[in-house]
Structure 1
Amino acid sequence: MTLDFFKNGPDMLPVSQVIRNRRTIKPTQYSQRDVDEAIVNELLENANWAPTHGMTEPWRFTVFCGDARIRLAEFLADTYKSLTTEETFKQKKYDGMRANATCAPVVIAIGMKRQASEKISLLDELLAVACAVQNMHLTAAAYGLGGFWSTNVAATSTQMRDFIGLEENDQALGLFYLGYPQGDWPESSRGSVEAKVRWVRD
Structure 2
Amino acid sequence: MNLEDITQLIKKRRSIFPASYTGKPVSKEFLTTLVENANWAPTHRITEPWRFKIIQGEALSRLGDYLADTYTDITPDEKLSPYKLKKIKNNCKAASAVIAICMQRDPKERIPEWEEVAATAMAVQNMWLSCTAAEVGCYWSSPPMINYMQDFFELEEGERCLGFFYIGSYDTSEEFASRRGKIEEKIEWI
**TM-score relative to the length of structure 1:** 0.89
Cα displacement string for residues 77-136 of structure 1 (whole angstroms, at most 9, x for unaligned residues): 111111112122222111111110010111100101111111221111111111111110
Q: CA deviation at 1:142?
A: 0.2
Partner of 2:185 in structure 1?
Answer: 195
3-state SS of 2:77 partner? coil
Q: CA deviation at 1:28?
A: 0.9
Structure 1, unpaired ranges of 5+: 1-9
Q: CA deviation at 1:33?
A: 1.3
AA of the residue aligned to 1:174 = G
Partner of 1:149 in structure 2?
Answer: 140
In structure 2, distance between residues paired with 1:145 and 1:161? 29
Instruction: Confirm whether residue 181 of structure 1 aligns to residue 166 of structure 2.
Output: no
3-state SS of 2:79 partner? coil
| Within-5 A mapping of 1:70-89 | 70-89=61-80
Structure 2, unpaired ranges of 5+: none
3-state SS of 1:117 partner? coil
Partner of 1:47 in structure 2?
Answer: 38
Computing the radius of gyration from Cα coordinates, the structure with the larger value is 1
Partner of 2:130 in structure 1?
Answer: 139
| Within-5 A mapping of 1:94-173 | 94-154=85-145, 156-157=146-147, 159-173=148-162
Partner of 2:52 in structure 1?
Answer: 61
3-state SS of 1:34 partner? coil
**TM-score relative to the length of structure 2:** 0.94
Q: Is the 8 A contact 1:46 1:132 kept in 2?
A: yes
- Would you say how many aligned residue pairs link Structure 1 and Structure 2? 189
RMSD: 1.4
In structure 2, distance between residues paired with 1:161 and 1:177? 19
In structure 2, distance between residues paired with 1:40 and 1:187? 25
